Structure 1
């Protein structure tokens, strides 16, 4: 059985009569004459197959069915009134959904204030945050599962074919077990002695998840005529630091990781020239909805404010 199709005008007329409980006043409110309104309510009752009002010469009352319909009809009219504003907000990037992936290092400093201020400014945007390594982010971007990603890479080695905004540049530090001789042999601000680094067991991320930065670290060893002695691989920077605290080896980590204060671990400047890394916000140039444009502009403004 097909459900009856009732247009918005009929619901607006019903609500007016239900609230006024007087056909004459309801007609004035709707800027129409009373006979067409009376006919319209009769047509609505016929379409629904039930009486909405009990009428006498002296008064108009809602039937139980009419009273039951009134809250839903009001809600329908209110939502219909809001639709144009909602559509305009989405078109302006002030409402909608933004799916943003990020590497863990961004969470140590950059991301929290950006998210906080963005949510305050655009409360109608549903911001979905997904922690993911760079390889996972690139695959998700290709599938359209995320709108943008924040990922690490070596300077000048951002993934090809994507629009991007560099949001951070930082050197790599050495994370050392607290009791390791390299952690105690020189002042905390001084670089670690290069000759003592190359034969130390290394905790490092797999090349698959961050190839350009992995290669930059390996090249630093090769330039010294050595090969890294990989003791353990781990995906997340927090896990790498935790393994350093367990004295499995030393690790090269972005400077921002220094904010992750793990007991049993100290951070020291790496031997010069220390590799550096960049963090970029990346997205598909052919898929940049208005809400993502707002996010990019927000990040740019935050950077400009920090630099100023």
Structure 2
């Protein structure tokens, strides 16, 4: 079935005027071609739309029920050029973004706020994912971009683009009881005998290695207590007294009863989070997101209030 939008517009005009002559004048055409086009539409649809007499034109039950649907269809058709232009400018469409759990408490909400303020018409699909999975999903074309902890696997260096966004120090997450024993700034040596709650290396190798290197530079070997694949779970285990954890400073925004955050007295190791996307597949929406990310400024270095607990 090949519907003609012009014929649908003719149908609406006749339905509203209830008169072929007046509808023809409104459409700046003569009556015979208008009648022919309406009959052609009825033949295409396989149903009569008008009951005609010498003095009147009335909608049939089919025509009456079809009229609001045709109006909606024409409204949608009229909106297509504007939608196409918005899509071309990156002002409409969809963006699929993956993120590591560490980004959920600082970088992600701040970046999303900046993007949605500039592009309110874009639909966002967010999914939490580890850095290694993000790389696989990007290569497969199942996501548009990811907030991940580097490094990018060398074998994909030519296919993926990476933009560093934020570097933040690690701090200590500990229970109330441990915090009372250790006081303010915590030397790493004071944690040596305490169980360490950490991501499994197979899921977050870069983040795991940063923590292990931190201990190694201090001449210490951590005692791994528990492993968890989400930052919320790690903090919950700390709250339950299962050990301590080294977490990015933005985790101070994750308030959990029984958990206290303290800075390290030793040189603070830095964790970097950046944006990753396919170099050869930059849609207008993704281009707008990358532009916002390039202009985004990380927060200042003031110590967050939760550290003072």
Normalised to the residue count of structure 2, the TM-score between the two structures is: 0.88
**Aligned-partner Cα distance in 1 for 2:110–2:218:** 40
Which of the residues 272, 280, 291 maps onto 1:278? 272
Contact kept, 8 Å, 1:141 with 1:284, in 2: the verdict is: yes
- 1:266 — aligned with what? 260
CA-to-aligned-CA distance 1:158-196 (integer Å, 9 cap, x gap): 45422122221100011122212x65343x2x3x13432
- 1:30 — aligned with what? 27
**Aligned-partner Cα distance in 2 for 1:305–1:41:** 64
- 1:60 — aligned with what? 57
| CA RMSD, 1 decimal | 2.3
| SS of structure 2 residue aligned to 1:199 | coil
**Aligned-partner Cα distance in 1 for 2:189–2:75:** 73
Q: CA 1:260–1:289 in structure 2 vs 1: closer, same or farther (change >3 Å)?
A: same
Normalised to the residue count of structure 1, the TM-score between the two structures is: 0.88
Gaps of 5+ in 1: none
Kindly indicate whether residue 207 of structure 2 is the aligned counterpart of residue 213 of structure 1.
Answer: yes
- 2:289 — aligned with what? 295
Q: CA 1:85–1:100 in structure 2 vs 1: closer, same or farther (change >3 Å)?
A: same
Offset at residue 277 of structure 1 (A): 0.4
- 2:232 — aligned with what? 238
| SS of structure 2 residue aligned to 1:175 | strand
| SS of structure 2 residue aligned to 1:128 | strand
Offset at residue 305 of structure 1 (A): 9.6
**Aligned-partner Cα distance in 2 for 1:306–1:224:** 28
Which of the residues 158, 162, 165 maps onto 2:163? 165
- 1:100 — aligned with what? 97
Number of corresponding residues:
297
CA-to-aligned-CA distance 1:16-57 (integer Å, 9 cap, x gap): 111111212211222211111122222223333432222233
Contact kept, 8 Å, 2:24 with 2:34, in 1: the verdict is: yes
